[in-house]
A = this chain, B = another copy of it.
Amino acid sequence: MKDRYLDFVNSPFGTSLARALGLPKPEVLRRHRPGEAEFGAMAAIGAGPSPQMFDQLIRVLTAIGMTGIAHDSAPGWLALAQAEGAMSGRFEPSPADAAATHRVDALIFDATGITESSALRPMYAFFHDAIRSLARSGRIIVLGRAPSSCASPRAATAQRALEGMTRSLGKEARNGVTSNLLYVTGDADIEGALRFFLSPRSAYVSGQVVHIDGPAAAPASYATPLAGTRAVVTGAARGIGASIATVLATQGAIVTGIDIEAARDALDQTMLAIEDTSPSGGAHAALIADIAAPDAPADIAAALLASGGVDIVVHNAGITRDKTIARMTGDMWDSVLEINLLAQERIDDALLAQNVLRAGGRIVAVSSISGIAGNRGQTNYATSKAGVIGRVQSMAPLLRERGITINAVAPGFIETHMTARMPFATREAGRRLNSMGQGGLPVDVAETVAWLASPSCANITGNVVRVCGQSLVGA
Contact = CB atoms under 8 A, between A and B. Distances in A.
**Residues of A contacting B: mostly:** helix
Interface in A34-50: none
A337 B474 CA distance: 25
Nearest to A161: B387
Given A117-B342, A171-B376, A374-B207, A325 B159 contact: no
A325 B386 contact: no
Contact of A393 (B124, B156, B337, B387): B156
A165 interface: yes
Nearest to A435: B376
Contacts of A419: none
A371 to B, nearest CB: 5
Identical copies of this chain, number: 2
A168 B328 CA distance: 13
Given A120-B383, A161-B387, A345 B475 contact: no
A166 to B, nearest CB: 7
Interface stretch (A126-134, A218-226, A270-278): A126-134
A464 to B, nearest CB: 11
A428 interface: no
Interface stretch (A57-65, A146-154, A303-311, A453-461): A146-154
A333 interface: yes
Given A128-B326, A131-B325, A383-B168, A158 B390 contact: yes
Given A132-B326, A168-B375, A326-B132, A161 B341 contact: yes
B342 A379 contact: no
A380 interface: yes
A386 B132 CA distance: 25
Given A128-B328, A147-B393, A165-B379, 8 more contacts: A96-B326, A121-B330, A124-B330, A157-B390, A160-B390, A164-B379, A167-B386, A168-B325
Given A124-B325, A124-B380, A475-B207, A345 B157 contact: yes
B330 A161 contact: no
A72 interface: no
Given A117-B341, A171-B374, A473-B472, A160 B207 contact: no
A383 B475 CA distance: 18
Contacts of A131: 325-326
A391 interface: yes
Contact of A333 (B121, B168, B378, B475): B121
Contacts of A121: 330, 333-334, 337
